[in-house]
Amino acid sequence: MSDTTITAGRKEWIGLAVLVLPCLLVSMDISVLFFAVPFISADLRPTGTEQLWIMDVYAFVLAGMLITMGALGDRVGRRRLLLIGGAAFGAASLLAAYSTSAEMLILTRALLGLAGATLMPSTLALIRNMFPDPAQRKTAIALWTAGMTSGAIVGPIVGGFLLEHFWWGSAFLVNVPAMVLLLVCGPLLLPEFRAPSAGAFDLMGAVLSLAAVIAVIYGIKQTAVDGAGVTPLAVLLAGLAAGALFVARQRRHPAPLVDLTLFRHRAFGGALAVNVMTLFGFVGITLFTSQYMQLVLGLTPFAAALWSISVFPGIAGAIALSGVMAARVRPAYVLGTGLLVTVAGLLVLTQLRTGSPLGMLLVGAALVAAGIVMASTLTADLILTAAPPERAGAASAMSETGSELGGALGLAILGSVGAAVYHHRMADVLAAAPLTGVSPEALRAAEDTLGGAAAVAAGLPGQAGAAMLRAGQEAFTQGLNLAAAAGAVLLAATAVATMIALRAVPRSARPAGQDAPAPPPVPLHGR
């Protein structure tokens, strides 16, 4: 039976709401933590490097394990893996909430990344299985994308409220009741799907993919923070070597984790590259804007979260515009337009100063978010439709891997660029006007993060405290400016490359050699 003759019913549409829930939480978890950074910094006193690890180890592990978990879901059952991941995510959230040191929080964030890697591929793969009709699938993916976007909006509001009334660990506890709801409703509303002949699981390939992703990102991050040293360069080269071995193994293996033939389809490879770069710009710069509102403009977490809602009209307009354009314009120009809108937002952020009005920040943030949504709404469908249904788990895992890898690289590279600018600027300030009566540990904290500088400034008398805080705010803003400029250059280049490389891809592309829809996978339990 052809895919196009099968339509989803009420159960599938209700089940879609259950699938959107993990996406909402993953998105909320990231945005909640952005607002929690100053509180974590004050409580656990992480170094600048530890603070970056707290932020990005989740994405590192998530990106490294997505391919493995996507392939595993194709073999053991996508619903089963989703529910296992939900239980693990809830347990890891409890551990993270009660972390007593920066090292413990880094470890629990890594566990959250491992659990989260089981969630994302399963949600998108099940959408491919539950909605075989192309028109219904596009609608379902648009709703899935809206769920991710809503998480970014709801997360700061929930997080701001919690941070104003409770301790920073409460930002993790919101995951627990939602995961319980997923575990209760999932078995009732979601069908189970498994590829009928996926073959043996490639354990060595899984190890190589994890090693490659983590080593490459670590090497890039350390080089950005400390400069080109022997250790980060050696780790980076080791990661690239592991990646080359992984690709070679996937070409030879009878049941590879990644079907490399998918990259012959231009829409698949191009959409995957856009996924990486859009999240690179979005996550990398959001880390700065959330702290700017609190530590430079002086807003409370809840007030900053409420102001962040003002970007929603831009996001809603971007979703509508991308849908209209996708029906009339080739994908290359929809994606290119979205990227250029993001570039415009980043250019606005390069002009921020410590005395700039809040509206200037919000305009830049709205343009960045709108451009990301325009691009990501289309990339998910391009990637999924390039793969046969029985490989939907692996394809969706690659889509999510691209997103998470882009986010991790954004935190690692843009975050490190901003951190390096801040560190060097503050080191110069403290060298020019040494402080007496302040411990070496506090001075190092002031050099590493704006939160550390604010804490030191609070303990200094009169003009000395005000000068310290002002110097930290100026150094942080300069770091934000340079990070936004670097992101704008890279995304502008990506926009041009995308419009050139994908200009021949039609509005509705089918993989090369796939003249007819592939048969649906074997359901383990009836719908």
What pLDDT, in 10s, does the model give residues 454-502? 878 887 777 877 888 888 889 999 999 999 999 999 999 999 998 888 8
**Measuring CA to CA, which residue among 129, 114, 118, 115 is closest to residue 16?**
129
Q: Is the pLDDT of residue 519 over 50?
A: no
**Measuring CA to CA, which residue among 59, 67, 174 is closest to residue 106?**
59
In whole angstroms, what is the distance from residue 386 CA to residue 392 CA?
Answer: 9
Mean pLDDT of 421-427: 84
In whole angstroms, what is the distance from residue 84 CA to residue 116 CA?
Answer: 10
In whole angstroms, what is the distance from residue 62 CA to residue 118 CA?
Answer: 9
Which pLDDT value is given to residue 153? 61
Which pLDDT value is given to residue 31? 59
CA 230 to chain centre: 29
Which pLDDT value is given to residue 490? 92
Q: Is the pLDDT of residue 289 over 90?
A: no
Looking at per-residue confidence, does 52 or 492 come out higher?
492
Which pLDDT value is given to residue 351? 94
Report how far apart, in Å, the C-alpha atoms of 213 and of each of 66, 232, 247, 389 are. 11, 14, 13, 26
In whole angstroms, what is the distance from residue 89 CA to residue 62 CA?
Answer: 12
Tokens of 353: 């100063």
Report how far apart, in Å, the C-alpha atoms of 415 and of each of 224, 284, 448 are. 9, 6, 12
Unique residue bearing structure tokens 């200037």:
360
Pick from 207-216, 246-255, 436-445, 510-519: least confident: 510-519
Rg, Å, the chain Cα set: 23
Which pLDDT value is given to residue 437? 64
In whole angstroms, what is the distance from residue 233 CA to residue 60 CA?
Answer: 18
Average pLDDT for the chain: 78
What DSSP string describes 425-486?
HHHHHHHHS--SS--HHHHHHHHH-HHHHHHHHHTS-HHHHHHHHHHHHHHHHHHHHHHHHH
Q: Which amino acid is at 90?
A: G
Which pLDDT value is given to residue 523? 33
Mean pLDDT of 407-418: 76
Percent of the chain with pLDDT over 70: 81
Which pLDDT value is given to residue 388? 63
Pick from 156-170, 177-191, 285-299: least confident: 156-170
Which pLDDT value is given to residue 513? 39
In whole angstroms, what is the distance from residue 462 CA to residue 262 CA?
Answer: 63
pLDDT, tens only, 265-285: 777 778 888 888 887 888 778
Pick from 259-263, 276-280, 323-327, 388-392: least confident: 388-392
Which pLDDT value is given to residue 516? 36
Q: Is the pLDDT of residue 414 over 80?
A: yes
Q: pLDDT grade, residue 389 (50/70/90)?
A: low
pLDDT, tens only, 303-330: 777 787 777 777 777 777 777 777 788 8
Q: pLDDT grade, residue 217 (50/70/90)?
A: confident
Percent of the chain with pLDDT over 90: 10
Looking at per-residue confidence, does 435 or 203 come out higher?
203
Which pLDDT value is given to residue 484? 92
Looking at per-residue confidence, does 84 or 523 come out higher?
84
Which pLDDT value is given to residue 485? 93
Q: pLDDT grade, residue 215 (50/70/90)?
A: confident
The most confident of 233-242, 306-315, 378-387, by mean pLDDT: 233-242
Which pLDDT value is given to residue 489? 93
Which pLDDT value is given to residue 471? 87
Mean pLDDT of 120-145: 75
In whole angstroms, what is the distance from residue 230 CA to residue 216 CA?
Answer: 14
In whole angstroms, what is the distance from residue 159 CA to residue 143 CA?
Answer: 23
Cβ count near 200 (within 10 Å)? 9
Q: Is the pLDDT of residue 510 over 90?
A: no
Q: How many CA within 13 A on the CB side of residue 322?
A: 33
Which pLDDT value is given to residue 33? 67
Q: pLDDT grade, residue 512 (50/70/90)?
A: very low
Q: pLDDT grade, residue 525 (50/70/90)?
A: very low
Which pLDDT value is given to residue 16? 85
